[in-house]
Amino acid sequence: MLLLLFVYQLSIRAACGLSWPSDRIIIQVLDDSTDPAIMDLVQLECQRWASKGINIKYEIRENRVGYKAGALKEGMKHSYVKQCDYVAIMDADFQPQPDYLHKTIPYFVHNPQIGLVQGRWRFVNADECLMTRMQEMSLDYHFKVEQEVGSSTYAFFGFNGTAGIWRIAAINEAGGWKDRTTVEDMDLAVRASLKGWKFLYLGNVQVKSELPSTFKAFRFQQHRWSCGPANLFRKMTMEIVRNKKVTLWKKVYTLYSFFLVRKVVAHIVTFILYCLVIPATVFIPEVEIPKWAAIYIPCVITILNAFGTPRSVHLLVFWILFENVMSMNRTKATFIGLFETGGRVNEWVVTEKLGDVTKTKVPASNAKPAVNKKPRFARIGERLFVLELAVGTYLFVCACYDLAYGKNHFFIYLYAQAVTFFIMGFGYVGTIIPSS
């Protein structure tokens, strides 16, 4: 309970601190909590700001149908929303700067074709642990390269779901929020783009946010971020092909570069090549993989990716090993999304964020009654990830065989990758929160 409260307090405080005429802004808090205690605390926080003259609305709904998309869709139905032309969307752990609206709204005013202005995420807890440093490297590349390219070349990119402002007319023309996948943000962006709306990414407008620092939370997030786009690709391919409002090159960019390469092929190739195929070649000496394909080209691409975060270049090797492990989870999620197999295609687990709880002493008045702790065996079991351990074992066997009989010295990489799989498989990565 305390974890969520700290995050909500930071977010609501930042939203209420936006520098904008008070009669021309409405702060809407969409609370999809299922815990009555948390709902009461968030409502009290909203009432506290309302007593200071802030125009803030606390909204809840009877169920969580559609998850975030359902909450956003319900939020747009309120009568006071009809007074508004734009909606800025911030997740519960995002904290915009006071001048956020002054830096973004003018672009809408001076260009009626713009439907979305996206800001950049700035991570307040990037230095919390090695796992958050790895995430920072991946996301910095996404913002500095992928979003910049999409914005400057085709005026299209995937909405990041938060830290952005939509023109409400663009949302309505695109058909509003839909919950057919777990990436309602990307879904809306693609549909709005097909209606002819332009998008603008502003790298200099940075919004404070928090990275998931527990491995369990990160795995759930990456499943959603990989499964959702693959499922959306499956559902929207023909709609994009048949669209007559956008150019052929924009269709090619959206289908090939945005979806196929970055959301599908990249994950699958990384996992199959570096975690399955190359290790398997140690058992078949007749198979030789050219060094340019196995080492040189991937190294160049990786180094270029890492330049997005210069301060972490020294962590490059750790980042490669970490990303290879995560490629397994992303590949699994991608196949689930493409073929809609299993019950996890529309799985939505809220990404747990810790806020300042790890640095803040809990007041005695908020102390919870003592509860029985889970058995030690149960706590250990929660931290075991079977797939990671299985692939780690496979790589370790391949490394041992290559050390004994191989000639290409692949065992150096294989041992390092196997150890990484074991570390993550036993849950020794990220911030460890004691289980109660």
How confident is the model over 64-117, as pLDDT tens digits?
899 999 999 999 999 999 999 999 999 999 999 999 999 999 999 999 999 999
Q: What digits encode the pLDDT tens for the residues 150-164? A: 999 889 999 999 999
Average pLDDT over residues 128-132: 95
Query: In this structure, are residues 165 and 117 in contact, taking their beta carbons and an 8 Å threshold?
Result: yes
Would you place residue 375 in the very low, low, confident or very high pLDDT band (cuts 50, 70, 90)? Answer: low
Q: What are the DSSP E strand ranges found in 168-293?
A: 198-209
If you average pLDDT over every residue of the chain, what do you get?
90
A 10 A CB-CB count for 278 gives: 21
Q: Which residue do the tokens 């969580």 mark?
A: 64
Q: Helices 316-339 and 411-425 sit at what angle, rounded to 10 degrees?
A: 70
Is the pLDDT at 4 greater than 70? The verdict is no
* pLDDT at residue 112 in the model: 97
Q: What digits encode the pLDDT tens for the residues 18-44? A: 999 999 999 999 999 888 988 999 999
Q: What digits encode the pLDDT tens for the residues 269-297? A: 999 999 999 999 999 988 888 878 777 88
Separation CA 253–CA 146 (nearest Å): 12
Query: In this structure, are residues 189 and 263 in contact, taking their beta carbons and an 8 Å threshold?
Result: no
Q: What positions carry a catalytic annotation?
A: 32, 185
Distances (CA, A) of 250 to 116, 117, 265: 17, 19, 19
Separation CA 83–CA 80 (nearest Å): 6
Q: What digits encode the pLDDT tens for the residues 378-409? A: 556 677 999 999 999 999 999 999 999 988 88
A 10 A CB-CB count for 110 gives: 8
Separation CA 98–CA 122 (nearest Å): 15
Q: Which residue do the tokens 């709005």 mark?
A: 192
Q: CB within 8 A of 123, min separation 6: which ones?
A: 132, 135, 136, 139, 209, 210, 211
DSSP class per residue in 50-70: HTTT--EEEE--S--TTHHHH
Beta bridge partners of 243: none
Could you tell me which of 430, 233, 402 has the C-alpha nearest to residue 325? 430
A 10 A CB-CB count for 218 gives: 23
Q: Radius of gyration over alpha carbons of the chain, in Å?
A: 23
* pLDDT at residue 294 in the model: 77
Strand, helix or coil at 119? strand
